[in-house]
Amino acid sequence: MKYSAGRLACGIAAAALLAGSAFAQTQPGSEDSGPRGEQWTGPARMEMPASRPSPAPTPATETGDSFDAAFPRMVSEPVVQGGLELPAPLVQPWTVANATKLVAAIEGIGTEGLDPADYDLQPLKVALASGPSEELDALASQSFVWLVEDLRDGRTPMDAREQWFVVDPDRETFRTGDLLAEAVANGDIAATLDKLAPTHPDYARLRDELATTPASEADKRKLIRANMDRWRWLARDLGSQYLITNVPEFQLRLTVKDRIISTYRTVVGKPGRTATPQLAEMVEGVVFNPTWTVPQSIVKGEGLGAKVLANPAWGKRNGYVATKGANGYISVVQQPGPGNSLGQMKLEMPNPHAIFFHDTPSRHLFANDSRALSHGCIRTERALELAITMAILGKGASKDEAVEISTSGKYTKVMLEKQLPAYITYFTMASNINGEMATFKDIYGRDAPVLASLDKPRVRNRSTVPTDEVIVIEDDLQDS
């Protein structure tokens, strides 16, 4: 399929303002589905320096089995180790005025979808009635710490977050002890807690929806609360430019300053082991006219390797090139072309799950209402438009360069000088692409454990490490 600059101008006009000019025509790497061990004879690889952040270290447990273990007394002066200031102590002195404000914050925390009963409200009130004391300091500090953890990280324990693999940077940005010290110093308890709220407009919309939903609609209120919590699992601020897809909605959005610039229908993973996981990754490049290394489940399991070797003419018509090693191992690579199973592009976003966004020759599937059909990767409508836009926004190529590359028919990887985050999320209540609050079918059954956790006492000493198995997707891309 040929795309001209004029035909694509509408979809990428805004992005063209940010056009850069650096791009590279490179060899396919092993992850980009080139033949393993294949020697490349084309131009040298030209990639921008990688700038993916390292995963944030898991913070030390901030609560323990006793007040002494949970809130050790520390010197009042900040301690500097290795050039980094350690967080403030997790117990601070509380005045009656500050503790009274904390009680008010806990009593009003239902507006954020949380339960005041989780924060030891009654013992705190009893201690407050007796005036300043070490007991009040310990109880108020403990309640404040728990509020911070839930508002910043989410209340849902990790074992109820199925296939959730996002590293939340907020624990490092908004350190618990520092927030506690700030709150008792300035006396504005509510404002300190308010700064933890997710900035995405959908969180505020869900909060407003909760406020207008009567207590008699208990199931709806619980669903709203669950989806508010899902926003807290992500970074508080998603960035100024990003991709975000809501898997149950089958939609992808290109977003600039929380405003939707473009939307694209998607095909996502089938339920089961091929369900699409929830990730936050960086798009490092765009591969135009990709190759596809066929997984061994097809090469060997379905006999494709032997078929291509026995009938090279058939293989050539279908774009397949087979290589048999001395040890008998057969690899099959589908070359770029209109029938390539990855279509005309893929977004380069390395991750241990082998999940990425890509095109597909089976574009008729985007007309289906239910599109949980893939083996995990996300097939994207109008993928070439998206690829060119990403190349421009990421300062990897100008509009003219990107269009020329895309229509060349040659495998080309454009590395992005400005990498964009991509969020693969799972919301069953959210704003749809028309801006209306809507509910979406829970295609993977991921609501049940989150909803159940809301009925249980708050889990203390929660792990921040995902507990689910990392399933490496072998997307065979074959449609039924």
The upper half-sphere exposure of residue 45, i.e. CA atoms within 13 Å in the direction of its Cβ, equals 12
Q: What does the pLDDT average to over 177-182?
A: 97
Domains along the sequence of the chain with CATH? 5-46+239-291+335-425 (2.40.440.10), 67-74+82-237 (no CATH), 300-332 (no CATH)
Q: What does the pLDDT average to over 43-70?
A: 40
Which residues, 6+ apart, have CB-to-CB distance to 281 below 8 Å? 349, 350, 351, 355, 421, 422, 424
pLDDT of residue 473: 65
Range scoring the smallest mean pLDDT among 43-52, 122-131, 168-177, 265-274? 43-52
The proportion of the chain whose per-residue pLDDT surpasses 90, expressed as a percent, equals 72
Q: Strand, helix or coil at 319?
A: coil
pTM more than 0.85: no
User: Which 8-state DSSP code applies to residue 80?
Assistant: E
Residue 23: count of CB within 10 angstroms of its CB:
24
Token code pair at residue 48 = 């921008």
Q: What does the pLDDT average to over 116-124?
A: 96
Which residues, 6+ apart, have CB-to-CB distance to 328 below 8 Å? none
Report whether pLDDT(36) > 60: no
CA distance 137 to 98: 11
Q: Strand, helix or coil at 372?
A: strand
Report whether pLDDT(467) > 70: yes
Residue 287 Ramachandran class (φ > 0 left, ψ -120 to 50 alpha, else beta): beta
pLDDT tens by residue, 421-435 = 999 999 999 999 999
Where helices occur in 93-195 by DSSP H, the ranges are 96-107, 121-129, 134-153, 170-173, 176-186, 189-194
CA distance 105 to 144: 10
Q: What does the pLDDT average to over 226-243?
A: 97
Q: What does the pLDDT average to over 399-413?
A: 95
Mean residue pLDDT across the chain = 84
User: Which 8-state DSSP code applies to residue 164?
Assistant: B
Q: How many residues does the chain have?
A: 480
Range scoring the smallest mean pLDDT among 16-30, 209-223, 242-256, 349-363? 16-30
Q: What does the pLDDT average to over 264-292?
A: 96
Report whether pLDDT(455) > 70: yes
Q: What does the pLDDT average to over 85-109?
A: 95
pLDDT of residue 95: 97
Token code pair at residue 219 = 């199931």
Report whether pLDDT(20) > 90: no
- DSSP character string of 25-50: --PPPTTTTPPTTPPP-SSPP--PPP
Judge contact between 23 and 414, C-beta under 8 A: yes
pLDDT of residue 296: 85
pLDDT tens by residue, 341-354 = 899 999 999 999 99
pLDDT of residue 399: 95
Question: Comparing C-alpha atoms, which of 393, 380, 132 is closest to residue 265?
Answer: 380
pLDDT of residue 479: 45
At residue 462 the predicted structure's pLDDT band, cuts being 50, 70 and 90, is confident
Residue 419 phi, psi dihedral angles, 5° rounding: -75, 145
C-alpha distances in angstroms, 306 versus 215, 250, 412? 64, 37, 29
